[in-house]
Structure 1
Amino acid sequence: MSTTAGLIFGLRSESGGGDKATILSGSARDSGDTSWIEIPSGQTRVVDLTTTGLGGLDTGTVQASESYALYVIKSQSGVVGAFASLSFSPTGVNVPTGAVIRRVGALATDTNKKIHAFSQVGNSSQRVVQYDGALSSLARLLDGTAQSLTPIDLGPLVPQQQGSDSASVSIVPSGAGNVTSIQDAGGGQQASISVPSTLGFIPTSGTSRMDYTNSTAGGTTSVYVIGFTDTL
């Protein structure tokens, strides 16, 4: 096995919201481990979701409430750029002949087709994405009343793909004596939440789901996604 396969340094991504995301300087091996893709120090590449092609979407037009993969690309002539795609698999991406690519991050759009503001932390293939918007915009469940384990879809804030290993969530139970119980969608890690708000990570393993239940008939639970871990 190659000693360079999967290596990535820098190439952190971020967005203040709106239509654009920025990829900072760094370098990475392409998805096929054939060459390095580099954005030189002091330079960036911008992805604009309102355009198609290099610097935009690989195909189509931007969709509301979707997860997008962020890629860097090096053309056959050596030009380095960036783009976004609905496909988190390099084999499903629309790229020019001879180009090489590498996924370097992910973003999510809201109901207005705008990017949820985020920043990416980390310098290697293990990254944490942190959302920077108002908590109300990050809700995936508001005042849920279930009294048996019920799934919550955390997408598009947590991508449904294998690189997304766990979600950072804020759990807010309410109601006298109510305790919220949560577990990952596979029935593994479990926890009981009784304080007004608890922040923690829960495994998602590419499902973008978790389960919850209330302990009392009058109890409710709200769940907000604060971020997620991402293996590039």
Structure 2
Amino acid sequence: MSFELVIGDKTYSSWSLRSALALELAGVPYDERLIRLNRADTHERILEHSPSGKVPLLKTEEGPIWDTLAIGEYLAERFPEAHLWPRGQYARAIARAVCAEMHSGFVPLRSHMPMDLKRDQALDVVPAEVLADIQRIVEIWQQCRTQFGQDGPYLFGHASLADAFFAPVASRLRSYRVALPTDAAAYVDTIYQWPAFKRWLEAALEES
């Protein structure tokens, strides 16, 4: 068994972070290939590995997988004992629903608050559409924690792909000093205390 994850800068690449957390959840060793973003040769270098021209990409013995959601599903199926999706049919359905919403939505938040793990400064003005995204995210977290989070501090109790998908969002809310309700702030703290996230953050802070 051999895996290699092709990623972008740990400071900025939110989708790379999601896939790295998924691999950590699966509990399998993997190698990392980092391609620096926003360089003259970035796109060319990524295309050497990824047919989509984007990171992340997971190299497996069977071939490459180049979408974060697909990477998560592959790992969940290959390592069912790791429970990357939560236990319970309905819980798994909701976890998939919120991951899909994260995967395809929240464009204003992404645009105005790109992930930057070294940032610690609020926006001067937060646009209304970003505030709406934040409100929806807080609602998702509250729903998941209330319905499924009784057995631990993560969205579905134990750490799952849902947390991997929302970890970069939690980092944005902290980096941009967004005021949050108590329960949402506690969940952000949970992400920052997650050992897998902490290792990524420490490496990001060391990037030049």
Instruction: Name which structure has the greater RCO, CA cutoff 8 Å, separation 6+.
Output: 2
TM-score interval, normalised by the smaller of the two chains: 0.3 to 0.5
Bigger radius of gyration among the two:
1
TM-score (normalizing by structure 1):
0.31
Query: Which structure has greater helix proportion?
Result: 2
